[in-house]
Amino acid sequence: MNSGENIIRRKTAATGDGAAPPAGLFRALETALGKVAREMFDVDAAFEAAAPGDGDLASLLQSVPQPGLLMVLDAAGKAGGLICLDPLMVNAMVELMTGAGPKQVYRTPRVPTLIDAALCRDFVAALGRQLAIESQILPDSPQVPALSLKGHETDAARLSYGLAQGRYGLFSGKVTFQGGIRGGEIHLALPLAMLGTARAAMPGGQWAAAMSAAVTGAPFAMRAVLDRVAMPIGQALDLKAGDLVPVPASALSDLTLESISGEVLFRGRLGQKDGRKAVCLTLNCLTDKQEQQPKEAVPKLLPDAGGEAGPDGDAC
């Protein structure tokens, strides 16, 4: 890293002669950062933006901090740009992902590793999805498509061949978490061709449809729970491979599908379909309406279903 050099100022000075990117995206980026930090880490995030700029690919790669973690973005199979985390931001991400305490703050810049990249992936991926959602809501923001994570790099020079040529809008700022306990700089670069349409210029209803698509396309995790077993802590500590934990007979047929937080979303019963474990839904707890299952109902296959038959044979 160039000691004492304000990289954000250098970035804004490297603007080209093209149209400057719309500053309205900063509001979407700030909101997305705050929501992702709250949802993933249950902490507050503050964002202090620098002036936006634009430049060609060479200017972009010269402006990102070194060393830094560069996360390449993809938008529906097309070049989606770049999110760069400076070394202190990488440290903050690692600490938040691993649950480090408020006094466990590492402020020394270092070259990011593969482990750092793995720990930062979920945050960057969630930020790309949330940014698309927020840009659909704010009328003064360009419409950013859903951005997925394509890969990462620590050497900016190698991206000269991996990113699309052309002009990029450059957005940067300082991010602080937990009231300033930890944080760093984040740099977002998106192709200018992606940033040309504001919601006010879009046909009526199109922005709402795009927002709906971004929300419904976001990943959602559920877990299938057969039963919850209570036992003394001492007994749990004595468990070893091969031990049997008894469960009620009803747990072998009925189960619940729950959110990661434990909220019951659906009820169902175990079965088997085409040699794979499956679940037949019997109740949608979100609408509290009993589903009428015809005899020929097709069981829903679990995403991680194995090849063992369920207790009900070939069907639910």
For residues 21 and 125, state if they share a domain: yes
Helix (H) or strand (E) holding 28: helix 25-41
pLDDT over 80 at 315, yes or no: no
For residues 103 and 25, state if they share a domain: yes
User: Per-residue pLDDT tens for 255-268?
Assistant: 888 887 778 888 88
For residues 169 and 243, state if they share a domain: no
pLDDT over 50 at 309, yes or no: no
Answer whether residue 238 is part of any domain: yes
Answer whether residue 79 is part of any domain: yes
pLDDT over 90 at 307, yes or no: no
Report how far residue 287's alpha carbon sits from residue 277's, in angstroms, rounded to the nearest whole number. Answer: 26
Could you say which of 200, 216, 232 is where a domain stops? 216
Answer whether residue 316 is part of any domain: no
For residues 209 and 234, state if they share a domain: no
Answer whether residue 176 is part of any domain: yes
Give residue 43's pLDDT band: very low, low, confident or very high (50, 70, 90). very high
Q: What is the mean pLDDT of residues 89-111?
A: 91
For residues 110 and 30, state if they share a domain: yes
Q: b or e along 86-104 (b: 16 or more beta carbons within 10 Å of the residue's beta carbon)?
A: bbbbbbbbbbbbeeeeeee
**Residue 29 maps to which CATH number?**
3.40.1550.10
Answer whether residue 306 is part of any domain: no
Q: At 206, which amino acid appears? A: Q
Rounded to the nearest 10°, the torsion over CA 88, 94, 96, 100 is -100
pLDDT higher at 223 or 103: 103
Check: CB of residue 7 under 8 Å from CB of residue 185: yes
Answer whether residue 201 is part of any domain: yes
User: Per-residue pLDDT tens for 187-245?
Assistant: 998 888 877 654 444 444 554 555 565 566 566 677 888 788 888 888 888 888 888 88
Answer whether residue 84 is part of any domain: yes
Residue 257 phi/psi, 5° resolution? -105, 120
Residue with tokens 């944080």: 183
User: Per-residue pLDDT tens for 48-77?
Assistant: 988 887 788 888 788 777 888 999 888 876
Total domains in the fold of the chain: 2
Model pTM? 0.58
Could you say which of 216, 244, 261 is where a domain stops? 216
**Residue 272: domain span:** 222-301
pLDDT over 60 at 17, yes or no: no
pLDDT over 60 at 316, yes or no: no
Give residue 19's pLDDT band: very low, low, confident or very high (50, 70, 90). low
